[in-house]
Structure 1
Amino acid sequence: MINVIGLGYIGLPTALMMASHGLEVIGTDYNKELVATLNVGKTTFKEEGLEELFNLALNAGIKFTTEYQVTDTYIVSVPTPYDKFSKKVDACYVVSAIKSIMDVCLKGATVVIESTVSPGTIDKYVRPALQQCGYVIGEDINLVHAPERIIPGNMIYELLHNNRTIGADDKSIGEKVKKIYTSFCQGEIVVTDIRTAEMTKVVENTFRAVNIAFANELAKICRHDNMDVYEIISICNMHPRVNILQPGPGVGGHCISVDPWFLVGDYPSLAKVIDEAMKTNDGMPDFILNRIYEIMKENNISDFSRVGLYGLSYKENVDDSRESPTLQLLESQERHLAIPLKTYDPYFEHDIVPNQYHEFDKFLGDIDLIVIMVSHNQIKENMNKLKGKIVFDTRRCCDLPGTYKI
């Protein structure tokens, strides 16, 4: 039996996928309300294909509880926040989960940490916690790191098809864990050591963050001299060895906006390019806010209440607002003591910010300038409703005449 610890954006889909592919799974989370919701047959967030997978897992016998289980296999998918000042990972939730597992696990149990951590975290925090409790690693308990590689909005497909990395002290243990993931994962699964597995996951997200930062910096340069950054990137990407990503209003989520900081925090004198790239991305919400001011001035709009931000999530078609550029922009605006801009997002039924609307047409009726912060399918399918509005499109999804771009 596999006990999956943490039933959030990563743990829940992983548990459901394993259960639906014939493995006996019990999911554990400290959040009683979340567990109660799952036990009455309801999912806790929106994701394409999640309901269907949830029903398959329920039919296969998956169970949910707040209690850690007595078993020989655990998968830990708890949050790994970072300190915004030191830029170092906070491994407290991982260590807490490990200690709780030690209270109940069978001798020789294998603990698979899926949570993304900085290189060396398991050596610095997890091993000492085990050793302090008298556990002999490799005998009383086996450690494995299998970092998740999925993203909200495409979780089900990526769980099935993305390649995986499994890091283990003992290759034979790594191969056993590989068999668990092979039950559903159709991608290539590489077995290596733990520190390499830690590093590869962080490096993957750092590569993308640096690429996005380059695109964002190009956008600022092109804006300064009135050039079309999108056309320039499109032409450059015709070169067979060039693949520049698209600029945007900022970087959100709990991967690209967070993981690269782990390297900056651990290697401050070495990770200079990464540090500057992250600062560039973190500065984009302020850049967008300044563009809003410019567009307001150009169109003789003096009342902030006539401006609306479309989208509160960090990416399209999900209800995940972690590190959302829109929320970052609103925080910046609040520091300037301005009236909060109106907001709307079809994926959020409850208020998460002031001046939040829950009806699209009412939102549009109360504004003159709409700022597209997220390219949800809803907005792309209702562009005709934006006619007559001043549109500032930060996601390159609107082709209406006169649309302002980054």
Structure 2
Amino acid sequence: MTSRSVVFVGLGYIGLPTAVVMANHGLQVTGVDIKQENVERINRGEVTIVETGLEEQLKRAVESGNLKATTQMPHADVYIIAVPTPFKENYEGDLSYIMGVAESIAPQLQGDELIILESTSPPTTTRKLSEKVLELRPDLVADGTENPENKPVLYFAYCPERILPGKAMEELITNSRIIGGQTPRATEIATEIYGAFCTGELAPTDDVTAEMAKLAENSFRDVNIAFANELSLISDKLGIDVWELINLTNKHPRVNILQPGPGVGGHCIAVDPWFIVSADRENSNLIRTAREVNDGKPEWVIGKVEDAAGSASAPVIAALGLAFKPDIDDLRESPAMDITAKLAERFSHGTVLAVEPNVKELPAKLQGFENVEFAEYNDAIERADVVLLLVDHQEFKTVAATALAGKQVVDTKGIWR
């Protein structure tokens, strides 16, 4: 068991579950977040995100004294950064959040600390992070560089998460983990930290390879989803049930086609491939094309809704699901959210009933539309002329066929076939 103190920066969908798991495995963890309200709630043992099993474990971590949250950056032996890395208009990574954390950490450093980046990032981001920290602290030096003045040494590593939202509390422990130290000693210290709670394999490598591995994982999934989505477009033109097609095709012992949907969302799969494309535009044709296929699927869905609404003067459209995947409250990069917003624009003469059972109020992105209402799903289906299924939440799977009788139905997930 390591006795090193840990500061976890960013208490969102990845940071909070990870900090909790670390604390419940005996590490002394301080979570840092910019939102005072979230800090106060966490210190009371109240969850700020929907994640199965998190609430009970959070209370245990807080009550044990191993986890506390703050808005102020303290000193620690290890800093782990899990903040957003969106992309800019040209699809290059926006590293401003990461560099902002570097500015907050730098004054606290004394030497011998390890700084770990977990945020999904373009290749060489960890290197840029270390350069930023050392620019702010020229009295320190990175491990592995020449040090004739014998300055205190810092260590840097990239250790990406690879968990499934909704199963984070389990997969944080059981999944394998890539440990990408800039030097062997950085890898060794990082392995000690993750080894305190991970039972999966801890695979050592360098930081740039680790960054690329994370991007390759999600790009692989994006390409395979794009194949399924492209099949759905072709099948629709040919009058084929794409879900039956995929089921039959997958009976081949070496074929496993994924399921199509309204697009691809979340902060990883919808973003990461662009980081590879921006790193090498000449050699990333397949990855770029897959992104374009998946990014184009929402507009196709909107077209199906327009066809279903026909010439109705004031259609009522129920948009079921706003999250980017089933049974969570994560709205980041959600195609369902984008589709709902665009429907509100296209059907300004009608009403859009936005349904998301995992959030408590209409998301900010939809609040500016006078024709959008936040609704419960049974009521929305009853009122609707067109029922659009965007996310296959458990609640929607129980909808009776009689409830859909007489409605125009656009089922992007195939659960009501």
- TM-score scaled by length of structure 2: 0.90
Deviation sequence 1:21-76 (CA, Å, 0-9, x none) = 11111111121121122122211111111111112211221111111111211111
Summarize the Cα distance change of 1:155–1:244 in structure 2 as closer, same or farther, 3 Å threshold. same
Number of corresponding residues: 394
Q: Structure 1 residue 240: deviation in Å?
A: 2.6
**Distance in 1 between the 2:111 and 2:193 partners?**
19
Summarize the Cα distance change of 1:126–1:2 in structure 2 as closer, same or farther, 3 Å threshold. same
Q: Structure 1 residue 92: deviation in Å?
A: 1.0
Q: Say if 2:357 is the partner of 1:346.
A: yes
Report SS of the residue matched to 1:392.
Answer: strand
Residue of structure 2 aligned with 1:145, choices 131, 155, 158: 158
Q: Say if 2:388 is the partner of 1:371.
A: yes
Are 1:130 and 1:136, in contact at CA under 8 Å, matched by a contact in 2?
no
Q: Say if 2:329 is the partner of 1:319.
A: yes
Summarize the Cα distance change of 1:40–1:304 in structure 2 as closer, same or farther, 3 Å threshold. farther
Give the 5 Å matches for 1:4-403.
4-61=8-65, 62-83=67-88, 85-123=89-127, 125-133=128-136, 134=138, 135-138=140-143, 139-297=152-310, 302-333=312-343, 336=346, 338-339=348-349, 341-352=352-363, 353=366, 354=369, 355-383=372-400, 386-388=403-405, 389-399=407-417
Paired amino acid for 1:14: T
Which stretch of structure 1 is more off in the superposition, 128-137 or 311-320?
128-137
For structure 2, list consecutive stretches of 5 or more residues without a partner in the other structure.
144-151
**Distance in 2 between the 1:358 and 1:24 partners?**
43
Are 1:22 and 1:60, in contact at CA under 8 Å, matched by a contact in 2?
no
Deviation sequence 1:156-196 (CA, Å, 0-9, x none) = 12112211101002223312211221222121110110001
Paired amino acid for 2:377: F
Are 1:72 and 1:107, in contact at CA under 8 Å, matched by a contact in 2?
no
**Distance in 1 between the 2:290 and 2:249 partners?**
20
What is the match of residue 148 of structure 2?
A: none
**Distance in 1 between the 2:297 and 2:87 partners?**
20
Q: Structure 1 residue 2: deviation in Å?
A: 0.6
Paired amino acid for 2:111: K
Deviation sequence 1:283-336 (CA, Å, 0-9, x none) = 111000111122233xxx614532211011111111111111122213433554
Are 2:309 and 2:315, in contact at CA under 8 Å, matched by a contact in 1?
no
Q: Structure 1 residue 365: deviation in Å?
A: 2.6
Report SS of the residue matched to 1:283.
Answer: helix
**Distance in 1 between the 2:11 and 2:288 partners?**
32
Paired amino acid for 2:355: Y
**Distance in 2 between the 1:317 and 1:203 partners?**
26
Paired amino acid for 1:333: L
Report SS of the residue matched to 1:190.
Answer: strand
Are 2:344 and 2:352, in contact at CA under 8 Å, matched by a contact in 1?
no
Summarize the Cα distance change of 1:242–1:230 in structure 2 as closer, same or farther, 3 Å threshold. same
Summarize the Cα distance change of 1:362–1:143 in structure 2 as closer, same or farther, 3 Å threshold. same
**Distance in 2 between the 1:108 and 1:221 partners?**
57
Report SS of the residue matched to 1:152.
Answer: coil
Report SS of the residue matched to 1:165.
Answer: strand
**Distance in 2 between the 1:106 and 1:394 partners?**
54
Are 1:164 and 1:188, in contact at CA under 8 Å, matched by a contact in 2?
yes
Report SS of the residue matched to 1:341.
Answer: strand
Percent identity among equivalent residues? 37
Summarize the Cα distance change of 1:338–1:63 in structure 2 as closer, same or farther, 3 Å threshold. same
Report SS of the residue matched to 2:73.
Answer: coil
Report SS of the residue matched to 2:235.
Answer: helix
Q: Structure 1 residue 351: deviation in Å?
A: 1.4
For structure 1, list consecutive stretches of 5 or more residues without a partner in the other structure.
400-406
Are 1:318 and 1:347, in contact at CA under 8 Å, matched by a contact in 2?
yes
**Distance in 2 between the 1:183 and 1:241 partners?**
38
- TM-score scaled by length of structure 1: 0.92
